[in-house]
Copies of this chain bind each other. A is one copy, B any other.
């Protein structure tokens, strides 16, 4: 069992005090260390392969140098979340640049308050990013009251916490309107999650408003709730198809759900977009490669992650950021899964498809 190398050892080898070593390693501008001394310290550290102890550092400085990504859905659904890799990719980019660590945590329903407080009070992390919390999350108020640095990816009405989001309602409106402009009037909707998740209810709202604004009838029988994964989208579409209601288009709350729906449609012997046009949401990297290429609302996942991270770091520094709520733009990406309703009566076979991406 080798003795651990401490700053004391480095100081000794370099012939300076521990304090100087600390100054060097923290690049303290305030206290000037002679370049020559600095060099000696660096070299001694290298020789001993010294790595400053993170816990001791955190304890002394009262900063964990870490942030947490907190997820509220349970691991089973996390596994089906095709959006997550993009988020993590974006986050990793920034935390690497800022030299801090990223913690990932899952909170059980009912345990929110405890988990949030325990994570921050225990100083495991300096701040947290909440990934799409639910409407009714009771922990949010606690976070707000205690003034804990926190950014929500998504929005929770009634909360004053900082957030980064897209305008789900408006984006859904655009998506559905696209279908309407193509001549569709019977448009089904499958949500991306249960409605206690704000993104799901917001997207549903946009769907409703688009129909209303276009003066179309709203048929509640054309609405289904899915549950994050493709399987639930598949089930929802089967239910729609067997319900007897007729429709010529679908607005899906996520690409993952849309994929399941597409499978159900094709399995039933119907064609896309010939019989049913589909618009998805998220524009995950795979959407362009689905068959047919899925028209979708591009959500700047990477940018959401990055902005959340930057915003959080501002809050952690105690700086008042320019804005505590950031809305990022979305864009409808048109591919082959949507077409004018007239075409639905034409023959669709042998059609060539061209990718837009």
A interface, CB within 8 angstroms of B: 4-5, 49, 51-56, 58-59, 64, 66, 71, 75-76, 78-82, 84-86, 88-90, 92-93, 96, 101-106, 108, 117-118, 121-124, 229-231, 233-234, 256, 259-260, 262-263, 266-267, 269, 285-286, 288-291, 293, 301-302, 349-350, 352-355, 357
Contacts and interface: CB of A to CB of B under 8 A. Distances in A.
B123 A55 contact: yes
Contact of A259 (B54, B229, B289): B289
A179 to B, nearest CB: 21
A149 to B, nearest CB: 15
A330 to B, nearest CB: 18
Contact of A59 (B56, B88, B117, B290): B56
Nearest to A142: B49
Contact of A104 (B102, B117, B121, B260): B102
A277 to B, nearest CB: 16
A230 B289 contact: yes
A353 to B, nearest CB: 5
A53 B122 contact: yes
B85 A123 contact: no
A295 to B, nearest CB: 15
A355 B64 contact: no
19 contacts: A49-B121, A52-B122, A54-B123, A54-B124, A75-B89, A76-B89, A79-B89, A84-B85, A88-B88, A88-B104, A96-B106, A101-B124, A102-B105, A103-B103, A103-B104, A230-B285, A233-B289, A256-B286, A260-B289
A322 B283 CA distance: 45
Contacts of A66: 103
A319 to B, nearest CB: 17
A100 to B, nearest CB: 11
B101 A103 contact: yes
B285 A262 contact: no
B93 A101 contact: no
A55 B121 CA distance: 11
Contacts of A123: 53-55
Nearest to A77: B89
Contact of A79 (B121, B259, B285, B289): B285
A55 B291 CA distance: 51
Given A64-B55, A230-B285, A79 B75 contact: no
A333 to B, nearest CB: 15
A46 B37 CA distance: 50
Given A75-B92, A104-B104, A289-B259, A59 B55 contact: yes
A291 B269 contact: no
B79 A293 contact: no
A291 B118 CA distance: 46
A269 B85 contact: no
